[in-house]
Amino acid sequence: DDSEGEAEEYLFKVVIIGDSAVGKSNLLSRYARNEFNLHSKATIGVEFQTQSMDIDGKEVKAQIWDTAGQRGAFGALLVYDISRRSTFDNVGRWLQELNTHSDTTVAKMLVGNKCDLDNIREVPVEEGKALAEAEGLFFMETSALDATNVKTAFEIVIKEIYSNVS
């Protein structure tokens, strides 16, 4: 923020994409505000949050878009729900859409969300890992509910973007 006399050094757009109800909005609210909503409504319109992190003494800001258009994104979280196989089966489609809309190198992470629902899991961790490896994506299982790996997932993507451009 310039009013604080500190120059803004980096601002990157990150998008969160994936099927409906996989937990995209809750991943964002968990990361940006440490909030979770059990009864969140479907996202209407566009929403984003800005988060800063320090990398090598530089202030790096990420503008993280929930369900928005993918144009201009430097990073993406492709989210599925480990308790719903169909959401994993659709990852390929989301990836294709992302690739057709991006002209630059995009840091991508495959995110298996709702890992707290291990008792009703339909997608084994190994399958997530294997797909990520085959497609050249980072991979992480997360839970927006209990906060497992949420911060780490976003920060890995933001660090990768930074290293791509610096």
Regarding 25 and contact with Mg ion (CB under 5 A), the answer is yes
The Cα 123–Cα 6 span in angstroms is: 45
The least distance separating ligand GDP from the CB of residue 138, rounded to whole angstroms, comes to: 18
The Cα 98–Cα 138 span in angstroms is: 15
The least distance separating Mg ion from the CB of residue 158, rounded to whole angstroms, comes to: 21
Distance of CA 117 to the CA centre of its chain: 19
113 interacts with, out of Mg ion, ligand GDP, none, CB within 5 to 8 A per kind:
ligand GDP
Sequence-distant (6+) residues with CB within 8 A of 70 are: 15, 17, 76, 97, 98, 101, 102
The least distance separating Mg ion from the CB of residue 24, rounded to whole angstroms, comes to: 5
Strand partners, 61: 11, 52
Position closest to ligand GDP via CB: 23
- Tokens 């969140």 locate to 40
Between the two ends of the chain, the Cα-to-Cα distance in Å is: 21
The least distance separating ligand GDP from the CB of residue 69, rounded to whole angstroms, comes to: 16
The Cα 78–Cα 39 span in angstroms is: 22
The secondary structure of residue 40, as a DSSP letter, is P
Task: Out of 6, 7, 38, 136, point to the residue binding ligand GDP (CB under 6 A).
Answer: 38
Look at residues 77, 73, 100 and name the one whose alpha carbon lies nearest to residue 13.
73
Regarding 87 and contact with Mg ion (CB under 5 A), the answer is no
114 interacts with, out of ligand GDP, Mg ion, none, CB within 5 to 8 A per kind:
ligand GDP
Task: Out of 15, 22, 111, 137, point to the residue binding ligand GDP (CB under 6 A).
Answer: 22
Given the rule CB under 6 A, which of 5-13, 48-56, 102-110, 140-148 is the region that contacts ligand GDP? 140-148
Regarding 114 and contact with ligand GDP (CB under 6 A), the answer is yes
Catalog residues that contact ligand GDP under the rule CB under 6 A.
20-26, 37-40, 42-43, 113-114, 116-117, 143-145
